Amino acid sequence: MQVKYSPGSISAPKFAAIQCAILLLLLLTQVGANAWAEPAVLSLRADTGQYPLGKHLEILRDRSGTLDIQTVVDNDHWYQSPKEAVSLGLSDDDWWFRFSAHNEAPWDTLYLLEAAYSSLDYVNVYVLDDGAIIQQFDMGDHFPFHARPIDHHNFITPINWPVDKTLDVYVHVRTSGVVQLPLTLWWQADFAIVDQQHQMGAGLYFGAMLIMIIYNLFMYFGIKDRSFIYYVGFVASISLFVASLTGYSYQYFWPEASEWNGKSIGFFLSSAVLFAVLFTHRFLDMDAESWPLATRGGILAIYFITVIMMVSSILLPYTIMLVIVIVGAVIACFGALILGGYGWIHGEIAARYYVLAWGSLLVGGIVLAGNKFSVIPQNIFTDNAVQIGSSMLVALLSFAIADRINEERRRRYNAQRETISHERAAREAKEDALSAQQQANRELEEKVRARTEELHQANAILEEMNATDALTGLRNRRFFDDIAKREYVRCFRYQRPIALIFADIDHFKKLNDTYGHLIGDDGLRVVAQIMANAAIRDSDVVARYGGEEFCILLPETEMAGAVAVAERIRRTVEDEEFVVNGKRVPITMSLGVSCHQPKSPDNISLLIKEADESLYNAKGAGRNRVCQFGGKG
């Protein structure tokens, strides 16, 4: 810049001094601005176990996709992240993120860097010390799952941070879908605690879904209504969609199939919509003439949309597929709501649950879509919107199915009453048509008999389910109480002995607290199988009495035989190879045995009391032993 001055107003030396002062002021201002823009170094302290990194990140957009780590270190186009949760929407560009942190703890510390979004194609993490790369990790769902440094459904990177040391961490992300990077730096112990809570929540969600699948499969086999099999297909598809979205399916089902993993999210969401449409068609009986032509045409249009979604999930690029599938799913939800609302308005009572169910999923889908397109902020609620909405959908659809079954029963009962009334009036009015009317009655009774037989079969299945413990497959306490009373009366009648074994898993609460309830459930199943194998006679009854307590009823068995059975169970459980995470976990049992010949038909409580007292003695004597009533273990 050239500045002119007037010789008459300011002398040349003075003017040169003013110019120097102005240039110095501009230089200081620029330096201050650069210092102000410089991001603060994160302090890692011994009393803090979790560091959300969103607002500590600097971001660099690489539109060419050609920058490497040495280039980006010196690049001057970085900008500060404006939000706690980094969500940049759909993008085909490469993105770089960096932060610096200083370890103020009095010891070297191993930190875990978590990127809590599992649908990223490539994630490269570089750890730099004074500009030199000391650690590098290459991950992403385009790599085999076990290529990750830590097997986890999210991307976890271990970083060893020396004491009183500042390290620079660079994260490179390339993905064809949504760019989200919720980064958190953890102490190992704090990460383990929070991750265990997340795993428990996921287990509860997927466990509830599995229970609904099994229950409705039984209902389908008992009632033969296709609505149940469509419902099972929908619940299975939505569960696999959530598992693919959160990375669990890649971890447990197809850890080597990286190409399929990229397509699985769209495929399972499309199959969930397909089964939902089939269920809607069947559940609302849309082939009936009472439905207008426009609504039947609408269901056909939704079928066409699902076909487009399925094809796009397999053939189209991920970004295009994601848009098509999400938009198609939202349209399908709106269509299902409209159809359900029409049924509700026209007297379909079950349709009210149906409308509420699809409304829940629609809200969850809209929140998820808004989250992925950066319209709605990312947090724990928006990240889990589909899980919450699908859980409510499954529960409300179950209510709708139950209400539909009850309504059909009421209609069938009213129809039967009306038919009988008409038949009686016809017999009184037309004696000359008596033979024809009797034939009609026989045909009707045959139909009623066939349908009643079907109901008996369904009730038998339900009764069997009510008598069985869902976790172990053994008989439950309700069944045991009934059969024990009958066997006790029988042994009293024929003056035969009867024996009872009570068994309890030692220190089961410690097993649950140490390894989690899922491992505890596995232990219960193992013990239940051993006890079931010990009952070799048809008259022997093995049941889960409650919690970790089991029992075996042995009619016509002396005390010596019952003690031998109990000891065999104890040894088998003690010798069982129960392995958790590659390590054998010992399991032992305490057992109490009682036996007597009934003196009255209604004194089963005495037998139970004696067995319970013997079990208590076995525990008091040091556990892992058998005690008989009146004897020593």
In the chain, where the domains are located: 1-38, 42-192, 225-398, 408-466, 477-628
Give the mean pLDDT of 194-200. Answer: 87
Under 8 Å between Cβ of 474 and 550: yes
pLDDT for 39 equals 59
Under 8 Å between Cβ of 354 and 401: no
Q: How confident is the model at residue 447 (pLDDT cuts 50, 70, 90)?
A: confident
Residue bearing the bigger pLDDT, 486 or 276: 486
Q: How confident is the model at residue 536 (pLDDT cuts 50, 70, 90)?
A: confident
Q: Encoding tokens for residue 308?
A: 């487009």
Under 8 Å between Cβ of 108 and 48: no
Q: Encoding tokens for residue 34?
A: 């650069």
Angle at 317 between CA 237 and CA 384, to 5 degrees: 40
Model confidence pLDDT, tens digit, residues 360-392: 666 665 665 555 544 555 555 555 556 666 666
Torsion of CA 402, 408, 411, 415, to 10 degrees: -150
Under 8 Å between Cβ of 552 and 608: no
Least confident of 306-315, 447-456, 488-497: 447-456
Under 8 Å between Cβ of 550 and 531: yes
pLDDT at 55 over 90: no
pLDDT for 15 equals 40
Architecture of domain 42-192: Sandwich (2.60)
Give the mean pLDDT of 157-175. Answer: 93
Separation of alpha carbons 516 and 196, rounded Å: 9
Separation of alpha carbons 529 and 205, rounded Å: 26
Model confidence pLDDT, tens digit, residues 594-608: 999 999 988 899 999
Q: Are strands 155-161 and 183-187 parallel, antiparallel or unpaired?
A: unpaired
CATH for 477-628, options being 3.40.50.1860, 3.30.70.270, 3.30.70.1450, 3.30.70.1380: 3.30.70.270
Which backbone phi and psi does 286 adopt, to 5 degrees? -80, -5
Under 8 Å between Cβ of 339 and 292: no
**Residues 6+ positions from 233 with CB-CB distance below 8 Å:** 271, 275, 278
pLDDT for 439 equals 79
Prediction pTM value: 0.54
Model confidence pLDDT, tens digit, residues 214-247: 888 887 887 777 878 888 888 898 889 888 888 8
Angle at 180 between CA 179 and CA 184, to 5 degrees: 145
Nearest to 124 by CA among 149, 88, 161: 149
Q: Are strands 58-62 and 79-80 parallel, antiparallel or unpaired?
A: antiparallel
pLDDT at 90 over 80: no
Average pLDDT score, the chain: 80
pLDDT for 9 equals 40
pLDDT for 34 equals 39
Least confident of 163-177, 251-265, 292-306, 337-351: 337-351
pLDDT > 70: percent of the chain:
79
Residue bearing the bigger pLDDT, 197 or 555: 555
Residue 58: strand pairing partners: 80, 98
Give the mean pLDDT of 81-91. Answer: 77
pLDDT for 392 equals 67
Least confident of 22-31, 404-413, 457-466, 589-598: 22-31
Q: Are strands 541-546 and 549-555 parallel, antiparallel or unpaired?
A: antiparallel
Residue bearing the bigger pLDDT, 299 or 573: 573
Separation of alpha carbons 87 and 115, rounded Å: 12
Give the mean pLDDT of 176-203. Answer: 87
pLDDT > 90: percent of the chain:
27
pLDDT for 343 equals 67
Residue bearing the bigger pLDDT, 170 or 346: 170
Which backbone phi and psi does 173 adopt, to 5 degrees? -125, 130
Provide the terminal-to-terminal Cα distance of the chain, rounded to the nearest Å: 103
pLDDT for 4 equals 35
Model confidence pLDDT, tens digit, residues 617-633: 999 999 999 999 876 54
pLDDT for 234 equals 83
